[in-house]
């Protein structure tokens, strides 16, 4: 006499040692199936962050700093004019001596000073990236240190990715159950994997940015990935198990 699929599944589960159930956090659970679901959504970025550098030289630290302040203020003014709604701020400033090291090994001497100022701009309109880079380089910025594309609000995309991952997991559970003439019941356990935002950095070379040709800038897409592990209760088929 053959066991019905539901009874056979229950019998198999009953042979699993209690320690294994406890290890997986499934002690005293009814017959179940544990499935995994994943989803990755590709989204076009709607925000950009640009770091531009202003470097100046001076015979003294004060002279280098004053020259840098003047040049950086000009760059900031031009950045704000190119994108009035953007956020512009200084994120790093330093003044360092320039040494000359004699070949005879004697003490080094200071030749002058270098001031370095990094200005960061956050754009809510990625279509202005090219215009902003041109404004920065033409107003005295020495380099474009970093160009990164992001999302203003990741939450709706995270929620969508999680929803699709859960739907995939349920579809897998239903397919397994149907193959055994069973059906999926309530959710017994749910483990959510933290969605991961993957945004490759975009680097722009200053030499190309200041040339007369258009700087090719392709933001690409941002991938929002989510994964879930769901444990579903398994129930007899409503139509009755086959004999």
Q: Report the CATH number that the domain containing residue 134 is assigned in CATH.
A: 3.30.70.2970
The string of DSSP letters for 44-55 reads: ---EEEEEEEEE
Count of helix runs (H) and strand runs (E) in the chain: 6, 7
pLDDT at site 7 = 43
pLDDT attached to residue 206:
52
Domain boundary among 150, 170, 197: 150
Residues of the chain with pLDDT under 70: 1-27, 199-216, 239-243
- Containing H/E element for 64? helix 61-82
91 and 173 share one domain: no
pLDDT at 203: 56
**104 and 124 within one domain:** yes
Whether the pTM exceeds 0.85: the reply is no
Separation CA 183–CA 190 (nearest Å): 18
142 shares a domain with 200: no
Do 125 and 101 fall within a single domain? Answer: yes
Asked if residue 163 belongs to a domain, the reply is: yes
Is 219 a member of any domain? yes
* Residue 119: inside a domain: yes
Boundary of a domain, candidates 121, 150, 179: 150
Residues 175 and 142 in one domain: no
Both 130 and 56 in one domain: the answer is yes
| Dihedral pair phi/psi, residue 93, rounded to 5° | -145, 135
Sign of the CA dihedral running 77, 82, 83, 88: negative
* 17 in any annotated domain: yes
In a domain, 215, yes or no: yes
Please state, in angstroms and rounded to a whole number, the distance separating the CA atoms of residues 227 and 195.
Answer: 7
Report how far residue 73's alpha carbon sits from residue 130's, in angstroms, rounded to the nearest whole number: 20
- Given 150, 169, 202, the domain boundary residue is 150
Residue 113: its pLDDT value, please? 97
pLDDT number for residue 10: 44
- Same domain? For 56 and 123 the reply is yes
pLDDT at 218: 76
- 30 shares its domain with 65: no
Give 90's contacts (C-beta < 8 A, 6+ positions apart). 72, 117, 118, 119, 120
pLDDT in the model for residue 121: 95
| The predicted structure's pLDDT at residue 168 | 97
CA 78 to chain centre: 30
pLDDT recorded at residue 233 = 95
| 243 domain-assigned | no
For the chain, how many structural domains are there in total? 2
In a domain, residue 88? The reply is yes
Q: What is the per-residue pLDDT for 27?
A: 58
Q: Any idea what the CATH number is for the domain that residue 159 is in?
A: 3.30.110.170
pLDDT of residue 111: 94
pLDDT for res 165 = 96
Do 128 and 67 belong together in one domain?
yes
In this structure, the answer to whether residues 146 and 160 fall within a common structural domain is no
Are 54 and 28 members of one domain? no
pLDDT at position 141, please? 92
Residue numbers of the domain that contains 133: 47-150
Q: Is residue 64 part of a domain?
A: yes
């Amino acid at each position: 006499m053959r066991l019905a699929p539901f009874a056979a599944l229950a019998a198999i589960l009953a042979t699993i040692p209690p320690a294994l159930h406890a290890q997986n956090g499934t002690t005293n659970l009814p017959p179940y199936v544990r499935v995994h679901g994943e989803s990755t959504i590709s989204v076009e970025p709607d925000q950009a962050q640009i770091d531009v550098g202003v470097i100046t030289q001076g015979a003294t630290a004060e002279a280098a700093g004053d020259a840098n302040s003047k040049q950086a203020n000009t760059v900031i003014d031009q950045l704000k004019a190119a994108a009035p709604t953007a956020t512009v701020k200084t994120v790093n400033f330093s003044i360092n001596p320039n040494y000359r090291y004699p070949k005879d090994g004697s003490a080094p001497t200071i030749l002058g000073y270098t001031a370095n100022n990094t200005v960061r701009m956050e754009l809510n309109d990625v279509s202005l990236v090219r215009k902003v880079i041109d404004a920065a380089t033409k107003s005295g910025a020495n380099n474009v240190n970093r160009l990164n594309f992001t999302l203003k609000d990741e939450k709706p995309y995270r929620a969508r990715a999680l929803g699709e991952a859960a739907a995939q997991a349920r579809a897998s559970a239903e397919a397994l159950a149907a193959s055994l003439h069973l059906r999926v019941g309530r959710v017994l356990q749910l483990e959510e994997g933290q969605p991961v935002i993957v945004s490759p950095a975009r680097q722009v070379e200053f030499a190309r940015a200041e040339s007369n040709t258009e700087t090719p800038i392709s933001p690409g897409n941002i991938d929002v990935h989510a994964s879930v592990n769901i444990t579903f209760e398994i129930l007899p088929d409503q139509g009755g198990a086959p004999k």
